[in-house]
Amino acid sequence: MVSRSPLVPTTLCPDRTTYLSPQELIFRSLKFQGTERFSLQALINASYMTTDGKHGIISVDAIQGNGNDNFGLSSQLEDLCSKYEATDLIPDYENSRSGFSGVINLRSPVAGTYTMNMNIDTTDGDNLGGFYFRYNTSWMINSATTIDAIKTAFDAL
């Protein structure tokens, strides 16, 4: 998945495609009735910036090669991603804990009282709108770029 438009001015584009982040879980919070909030999560394999300033994301779907007859099998990476249909109940983790009480599994969430109001499959990059990415990165720009051009580009942001 690659953005339609550049995210940075041409002057500040990397001189080669640059990876911005390694594999990471990303999140998005949804608001339901009143103040109730629910978090969706997705896994991205990597994100990158192209030489024309566009942002790219490699989704779980792309890692698994879904849609390709030779690599169309799903993996356990799917378990890390939120997948809901509009009629699914949202799990309630409020009273969920990490341990066991005798034979009772306290780690298991219970079905919630709220119904998901949309279909979403975060293994597909087309469903990653509104998710938060963390970047701590840098890249090389064209060495012929003057400091004045760089300042002007930053001022235009």
The pTM of this model reads: 0.71
The Cα-based distances of 56 to 3, 118, 143 in angstroms read 6, 25, 24
Residues 81-90, mean pLDDT to the nearest whole number? 90
Question: With 90 as the cut, is the pLDDT of residue 153 above it?
Answer: yes
User: Do 19 and 47 meet the contact criterion of CB atoms below 8 Å apart?
Assistant: yes
The Cα-based distances of 46 to 11, 39, 102, 137 in angstroms read 24, 21, 41, 13
Task: Give the dihedral of Cα atoms 138, 144, 147, 153; nearest 10 deg.
Answer: -70
Taking only the tens place, the pLDDT of each residue in 89-119 is 888 777 777 888 888 887 777 777 788 888 9
Give the Cα separation of 11 and 19 in Å (integer): 18
Question: With 90 as the cut, is the pLDDT of residue 148 above it?
Answer: yes
Reduced to 3 states (helix: H, G, I; strand: E, B; else coil), residue 116 is: coil
Give the Cα separation of 113 and 129 in Å (integer): 25
For the stretch 95-106, what's the b/e string if a residue is b when 16 or more beta carbons lie within 10 angstroms of its beta carbon? Answer: eeeeeeeeeeee
CB count within 10 Å of CB 120 equals 21
Taking only the tens place, the pLDDT of each residue in 1-53 is 889 999 999 999 999 999 988 888 999 988 877 777 888 999 998 889 999 99
Confidence of residue 71 (pLDDT cuts 50, 70, 90): low
How distant is the alpha carbon of residue 86 from its chain centre?
A: 20
